[in-house]
Amino acid sequence: MPSRDAVSYFGAGPAPLPTPVLEEASKVLLNYHDSGIGITEISHRSPEANAILAHTQSSLRKLLDIPESDGPEGYQILFLQGGGSGEFSAVVYHMVSVWLGALAKKRQQGLDQEAARLRLDYLVTGSWSLKASQEAARLVGAEHVNGVTDARKHRDGKFGLIPPPDTWTQTKTNDDVALTYYCDNETVDGVEFPSPPSGQNLVADMSSNFLSRPVDIRRHAAIFGGAQKNVGTTGITIAIVSNSILPPHAEMADPTLLRKLGLPVGPVVLDWPTIAKNNSLYNTLPIFDVWIAGQVMQRLLDQSPVEKSPRIAEQEAESNKKSQMLYSVLDGHSDVYNVVPDKSVRSRMNICFRVKGGDAEAEKAFLKGAEGKGLMGLKGHRSVGGIRISNYNAVAVAAAEKLARYMEEFAGERKA
């Protein structure tokens, strides 16, 4: 059986965690801070749990320079359950309610006709934004969902680029737009936005590149991400939500009105105002998962000890270094390796490529050779095949260097 040090894991998620965090986790699972009980056994409403929650929230604010204020310019940090897929729904429930609440405040009559104007703008640039748009259509009806762009229409039916903004068809009237949605990094297709798009009430799924680079928080109404890529374990989802779209700064539509107009009322466990009002403790929060996230965040802060905002720059530099190293090998052996996405939108987190144009035997040989060297988790997503290197934060530079050497060796053998 190989030791942990002998294996370099590049799986797409759950992703590797820093070994020191796991070592400390093994201790607190048995006895948290000499309390005599394990961390999974303490009450989520205990002083210890509240301290864990406060530390994790504070660490995240420092890392991403998240405004802290009770006014509309501030942002709430929420911990939820249900993964990114749960937030596909939560986003729709919330933003539709905010939109209709604002409309009802202006007009008391003819709301059914006015509600027909509702639009949710989606930028479909990969498998996950496609799923999010499909969930929106399922909840509110396809007639209310506007596909701003569909990258497949610009690349022979396949994802792999972000079409230029001058080809987008955003809803023309801002007052009709409840949200503009994009997925910052598409894990399946290896596509990453170089910078945020523009749009009314901007909402981002950052599940797979969260905490890998600075984020312009103030441009967004909300950002969410599952923790299991760069932050922690699979038990929690993090949402960063602007106070401007939360009570008392925003008026939510009454559930009776939503039902009357045929619009959905979401479950309370996905209700952002409820979660925010209760400091993420409305239901039993998995405190161990929050603790893991807090430990990972503290390590990132320790990488950037100088007090500056945001403090994620060191991790960004490391992520860039690893991805550039790996893409350099791929580009240097273009007769063996074929990078899938367009060069302008290559993901730093998920490096997707084919071997010998997708030759099945060549790709099997690549994966077998990699596993023989302890390089694991490189098989592409089942829907697209190929090879995928997931370059998440806990993947060490040394692991990326080891993989780069193997890729060089394999390419040399294929050329011989």
Long-range contacts of the stretch 143-150 (C-beta < 8 A, 24+): 144/118, 144/119, 144/120, 145/119, 145/120, 146/119, 146/120, 146/121, 146/122, 146/170, 146/171, 147/122, 148/121, 148/122, 148/123, 148/124, 148/180, 148/199, 149/123, 149/124, 149/125, 150/124
β pairing state of 191-192 and 119-124: unpaired
Residue type, position 137, single letter: A
Q: State the pLDDT at residue 111.
A: 87
Residues 255 and 350 in one domain: no
Residues 371 and 263 in one domain: no
CATH code for position 159: 3.40.640.10
Count of structural domains within the chain: 2
Which of 294, 327, 353 corresponds to the end of one domain? 294
pLDDT means over runs of 10, the chain (416 residues): 90 94 98 96 96 98 96 98 97 98 86 92 99 99 98 97 98 96 98 98 98 97 97 96 98 96 96 98 97 97 79 94 99 97 98 97 98 97 96 97 98 83
Question: Range of 149's domain?
Answer: 48-294
CATH code for position 335: 3.90.1150.10
Residue 233 to residues 37, 226, 272, Cα–Cα distance (Å): 21, 9, 21
Confirm whether 396 is domain-assigned: yes
Confirm whether 384 is domain-assigned: yes
- Contact status, residue 192 vs residue 345, Cβ threshold 8 Å: yes
- Helix, coil or strand: residue 181: strand
Which of 262, 294, 326 corresponds to the end of one domain? 294
Residues 127 and 250 in one domain: yes
Residues 85 and 220 in one domain: yes
Distance between first and last Cα of the chain: 33
Q: Which residues contact 160 (CB under 8 A, 6 or more apart)?
A: 151, 189, 190, 191, 340, 341, 342, 345
Confirm whether 17 is domain-assigned: no
Residues 109 and 252 in one domain: yes
Q: Of 101, 114, 107, nearest to 252 (Cα)?
A: 101
Confirm whether 4 is domain-assigned: no
Residues 337 and 288 in one domain: no
Confirm whether 302 is domain-assigned: no
Confirm whether 82 is domain-assigned: yes
Residues 122 and 208 in one domain: yes
Q: Which residues contact 91 (CB under 8 A, 6 or more apart)?
A: 132, 179, 181, 203, 222, 224
Residues 211 and 255 in one domain: yes
348 HSE (CA, 13 A, CB side): 22
Considering the entire predicted model, what is its pTM?
Answer: 0.96
Residues 243 and 168 in one domain: yes
CA distance 73 to 242: 7
Q: State the pLDDT at residue 416.
A: 56
Confirm whether 392 is domain-assigned: yes
Residues 110 and 225 in one domain: yes
CA distance 15 to 11: 6
Residues 113 and 210 in one domain: yes
Confirm whether 16 is domain-assigned: no
At residue 170's C-alpha, the angle toward residues 164 and 172, to 5°, is 135
Which of 242, 266, 294 corresponds to the end of one domain? 294
Residues 173 and 233 in one domain: yes
